[in-house]
Amino acid sequence: MCGRFVVANVGSELVGVLRVDVEGDDLPAPSFNIAPTDPAAVVLDSTKTEPPTRRLARARWGLVPGWAKDPAIGARAFNARAEELEDKPLFRTALHKRRAVIPASGYYEWQKSDQGKVPHYIHPADDGPLLFAGLYEWWKDPSKSDDDPARWMLSFTILTRDAVGSLRSIHDRTPLFVDPDHADAWLDPTTENVRDVLDAAIDAAPAVGETLDARVVSPAVGNVRNNRPDLIDPVQA
């Protein structure tokens, strides 16, 4: 699973990797302890233009479908198992029409041990961006008027898959990593071969995982109120 992640850089430092056309003017600030319901930046290809416009936009972590009565459902939908997407009404439509990439610096995972759960920070060895496959939705707040710009909320979920290789010793699930070479296919909202695109992403993810480093970090990361750069510093296990 992925229940916390880090975005140490935002905006233009991510544009070069995914060739973003438009950056939102309200992108979240860097954060070292993003938790479900927090805002984060996501990349999506908007179908409102032809060809689609690639946007870097602010979104809330936790998928809220358009049919939801309120956004509370998103607190339980921050992750989605990649192998079960087509069987879940909550995610099925977004899989076919609204796929996203979530850029990150790394993520946290807790390893079970005799001394309790030990937090690890998992990140690219070269400190470049790490890309997660995700889905997004737009939800209209019925309590707000049509002329209120805040009436629409963008939300997302991070996909996960079975862990393989060295990462499995930390946790049995990982985010579904996206190789930059596969990002265009994943984001393309016009594709008709969604199953093929999903299978290709699942198959390519382990190779990305093998390029990641992991280090033990402070238990302070377990408190969502803690959000500072030293959370990712190594500590003695």
pLDDT digits (tens, 9 = 90+) for 86-109: 999 999 999 999 999 999 999 999
Confidence of residue 9 (pLDDT cuts 50, 70, 90): confident
What pLDDT does 215 receive? 97
Phi, psi of 94 (to 5 degrees): -65, -35
What is the C-alpha separation between 155 and 132, in angstroms, rounded? 15
At residue 20, the 3 state secondary structure works out as coil
- Domain containing 113 equals 5-232
pTM of the model: 0.95
> Does residue 221 fall inside a structural domain?
yes
Amino acid residing at 146: D
Amino acid residing at 10: V
Reported as type and span, the H/E element at residue 30 is none
What is the C-alpha separation between 148 and 182, in angstroms, rounded? 37
> Does residue 12 fall inside a structural domain?
yes
Q: Is the pLDDT of residue 131 over 90?
A: yes
Compute the average pLDDT of residues 217-225: 97
26 within 8 A of 224, measured Cβ to Cβ: no
CATH number of the domain where residue 180 is located: 3.90.1680.10
Compute the average pLDDT of residues 219-231: 97
156 within 8 A of 100, measured Cβ to Cβ: yes
Nearest of 208, 235, 175 to residue 5 by alpha carbon: 175
Q: Give residue-wise pLDDT tens across range 60-73.
A: 999 999 999 999 99
Which two tokens mark 29?
A: 């600030």
β-pair type (53-61, 22-23): parallel
> Does residue 200 fall inside a structural domain?
yes
> Does residue 131 fall inside a structural domain?
yes
> Does residue 237 fall inside a structural domain?
no
124 within 8 A of 9, measured Cβ to Cβ: no
- Structural domains counted in the chain: 1
What pLDDT does 133 receive? 98
Q: Give residue-wise pLDDT tens across range 172-198.
A: 999 999 998 899 999 999 998 999 999
Confidence of residue 59 (pLDDT cuts 50, 70, 90): very high
Taking the mean position of all CA atoms in its chain, how far away is CA 112?
23
Task: Work out the percent of the chain whose per-residue pLDDT is above 90.
Answer: 80
Task: Work out the percent of the chain whose per-residue pLDDT is above 70.
Answer: 98
